[in-house]
Chains A and B, each alone.
Chain A
């Protein structure tokens, strides 16, 4: 009703080139900031580690090496999967403190099922074991989440209290189920889900296939968006901006593929695989920096052109990426997601618009529980064991990742990709400091400080944007 000038009207000449670029491409500047922070951390760790001990990293250290990045991605997946759900929980103005204990409980229960029940009954390695275990973990997680959600939505107990109780109680339940012992080993197919073993990655061919598919997907999405806007006669993004986004996205997808494909199986593993499958190990040329293996008088040496298997994308990372994709779809393209955000923005308005916010709350916690189920499978498969301490403190990392990723604890604001980047950032800090041999006490101090500083910077940024 008022005649306030719209944001699109100021003369283009008044804008700087950067502002014009950002507006045309519609890039989330916050995400740019996070990626910049991530790069600074990565480069910093690589240089620092290079000072201590030279390595093969881009800056002479040992952080920016395919192997380290590959491991970093695998380490991130557990937290990354759960944080996608935590974003929605926090957007709804709720919190879930119980995910760590729930992860332990689900992992232990799944472990007991496959090690003590299914294994003896069906015979070790029976193909239905891992499927049953995964489905069981998902359902158990969803059921526990649903129970949390019921108490919060219908019994009207604050989520902080319900899930704080869960944090304590589910931890105790995990201990009871496991009878205090570590449950191991996991089924051999189940283990692959955690990135455990050489076959837990999809290899170079399928990795390139996925990378190229991602490029094709990006291009199709851009074309489809453009077609839709033309159909409804909306203003279009400039062609150069579309091309820029397409090329940047494709470079990112192919770059990630190249990195994971540049990490070969450890040579002992490759040798064992060759022996088991009667593969002749080629001669190759001995070279200390070579990544392939050669047999020299029954000794394994590094060489070029010898036997080498590229790992490609590890399964847990693919699961995390798939979860991120699906959750982004749910958050942005479905009614369910739209209602979550609207409820977080103004619960009363959502109620008045006819949204059943109670059922919605319960569904969000159920979804969170199912994601905890997925994470518990990844975590126990990666460790090849289920322990009662598997998820200890991970609720805090999950929340921290979501918050660093731009999720507002006031509700209504947050993105899935931001939270996943937040998880990667936190894991990079942890992993980098481990690489540098930091004492764990210092690691905790740094991670805690980064969390607070990140939120402070975010507040300043939001105020300036406003």
Chain B
């Protein structure tokens, strides 16, 4: 907690005056967090409203709502099976939602497949990295949006050239451009996955357990990258098991349990113990706004 305050002193000072946004249901009234860019005050960059999705009768996500502002990092927490990855896969187009709507800058958008999401600037770094292990870095970076020559054939040279540039920024030591990514180290593979997400002018970045497979030095590097992307005005959803990560990097957090949102809070308003209580018991603390998944007696 102390660490988080040191990281974001500005936020702590401005905490006094939260503005409000009115939504369709009174339950959903939430204070808007401090935007990092004054011009973006008001409309969230992305807003998922009342999303539900079920797999064979099991409600993986049940009326979950979540939002994200430009230049903001929102941590999404919860147990295994809490529905956080599923919710986020609805946003990235991997799953089709049963109910609910997605709004980009206040406008409702249709996301039915990964291509739709990418077209809207929503990029995802999956926990599994989702790399095709048998092809090289450039082929992975451009998978699904290859550069082509005027004849319609793959322009491998141009793709390799761009890959060299973006990889140089992320990982200056990377030189194994011709090798299939299965031969790369965990960190190198991670940087390929990150390069793919940020290379196409992403507006919203979803990072699913980005540091799960990384060592301390590489984790710190990912942290640096997140701060840099924040400064560029990109909104980031950070899915993590790791409370420390979330308190280090996120401005706000949302906790899910059994497919429902337990509550949302600014990281500076809650302690790690309180968040742990939200994750395990669904108890929503004072500093957080309760969601439909919060324990009844605590929600009031």
B212 CB within 8 Å of chain A = no
A345 touches B133 (CB 8 A): yes
Evaluate contact between A333 and B154: CB separation under 8 angstroms.
yes
Task: Tell whether, in the assembled complex, residue B135 and residue A353 are in contact, meaning their CB atoms are under 8 Å apart.
Answer: no
Contact with B along A330-355 (1 / 0, CB 8 A): 00111100100111111011111111
A14 interface residue (CB < 8 Å to B): no
Say which one of B157-165, B253-261, B265-273 lies at the interface with A: B157-165
Task: Establish whether residues B176 and A6, one from each chain, have CB atoms under 8 Å apart when the complex forms.
Answer: yes
A354 and B93 CA atoms in complex are apart in Å by 9
Give B159-195 as 1s and 0s: 1 = Cβ < 8 Å from A's Cβ atoms. Answer: 0110000000011011110011001111110110000
Query: Does B139 lie within 8 Å of A338, measured CB to CB?
Result: yes
| Contact residues, A397-430 vs B (CB, 8 A) | 412-413
* Contact present for A346 and B133 (CB under 8 Å): yes
B residues 126-146 touching A (CB-CB < 8 Å): 126, 128-135, 139-140, 143-146
> Min CB distance, B251 to chain A, in Å?
24
Give the contacting residue for A353; candidates B143, B180, B214; CB below 8 A: B143
Which residues in B have their C-beta under 8 angstroms from that of A7?
175-176, 179
Contact B124 A2 (CB under 8 A): no
Which of B124, B157, B180, B215 makes the CB contact (< 8 A) with A352? B124
Among residues of B, the one whose C-beta sits closest to the C-beta of A347 is: B132
Q: How far is the CA of A231 from the CA of B188 in the complex (A)?
A: 27
Give the number of residues in B that approach A within 8 Å (Cβ atoms): 53
List residues of chain B with CB within 8 A of the CB of A329. 153
Chain A residues in 8 Å Cβ range of B252: none
User: Does chain B have a CB within 8 A of A3?
Assistant: yes
- Report B-chain residues with C-beta under 8 Å of the C-beta of A353: 114, 130, 143-144
Q: Is the CB of B118 within 8 A of A354?
A: yes
Q: Cβ of B79 < 8 Å from any Cβ of A?
A: no
Interface assignment of A442: CB less than 8 Å from any CB of chain B: no
Decide yes or no whether B105 CB sits under 8 A from chain A: no
- Of the residues A229, A342, A344, A354, contact of B115 by C-beta under 8 Å: A354
Closest beta carbon of chain A to B206's beta carbon, Å: 11
Closest to A341 in B: B135
A358 to B185 CA separation, bound complex (whole angstroms): 31
User: What is the CB-to-nearest-CB distance from A343 to chain B, in angstroms, rounded to a whole number?
Assistant: 8
Query: Contact at A338–B154, with CB atoms within 8 Å?
Result: yes
Q: Interface size (A, Cβ < 8 Å)?
A: 36
Q: Which A residues are in CB contact (< 8 Å) with B215?
A: 2
Q: Considering only CB atoms, which chain B residue lies closest to A7 in the complex?
A: B176
A130 to chain B, nearest CB (A): 32
In the assembled complex, the CB of A360 is this many whole angstroms from the nearest CB of chain B, namely: 12
B188 touches A1 (CB 8 A): yes
B160, A234: Cβ atoms under 8 Å?
Answer: yes
Complex partner residue of A412 from B124, B132, B157, B158, CB under 8 angstroms: B132
Shortest distance in angstroms between B165's beta carbon and chain A's nearest beta carbon? Answer: 10
Min Cβ gap B111→A in Å is 12
Question: Is residue B86 contacting chain A, with contact meaning CB distance below 8 A?
Answer: no
- Chain B residues in 8 Å Cβ range of A338: 135, 139, 143, 146, 154
A8–B171 touching, CB < 8 Å: no
Q: Smallest Cβ distance from A224 to chain B, in angstroms? A: 10
Interface assignment of B104: CB less than 8 Å from any CB of chain A = no
Residue pair B218, A1 in contact (C-beta under 8 Å): yes
Partner of B154, one of A229, A231, A335, A466: A335
- Interfacial chain A residues near B43, Cβ < 8 Å: none
Task: Decide yes or no: A2 and B185 within 8 Å by CB, A349-B143, A412-B133 being known contacts.
Answer: yes
Q: Is the CB of A228 within 8 A of B190?
A: no
Residues on B with C-beta less than 8 A from A4 are 173, 184-185, 187-188
A341 to B132, CA, bound (A): 8
Nearest B-chain residue to A465, judged by Cβ: B183
Are A352 and B175 interface neighbours, CB within 8 A? no
- B residues neighboring A (CB under 8 Å): 92-94, 113-115, 118, 124, 126, 128-135, 139-140, 143-146, 148, 152-154, 157-158, 160-161, 170-171, 173-176, 179-180, 183-188, 190-191, 214-215, 217-218, 221-222
Q: List the 10 shortest-distance A-B pairs measured between CB atoms, nearest first.
A: A345-B134, A1-B187, A412-B134, A6-B175, A2-B187, A354-B115, A353-B144, A345-B132, A342-B132, A349-B130
In addition to A1-B214, A345-B132, 6 A-B residue pairs with Cβ atoms within 8 Å of each other are: A231-B157, A234-B160, A329-B153, A334-B152, A338-B154, A412-B134
A sample of 22 cross-chain residue pairs with beta-carbon separation below 8 angstroms, ordered by A number, consists of: A1-B217, A2-B188, A4-B185, A6-B175, A8-B176, A228-B157, A229-B157, A232-B160, A232-B161, A329-B153, A332-B154, A333-B154, A338-B139, A338-B143, A345-B134, A346-B133, A346-B134, A348-B128, A349-B130, A349-B132, A353-B114, A354-B145
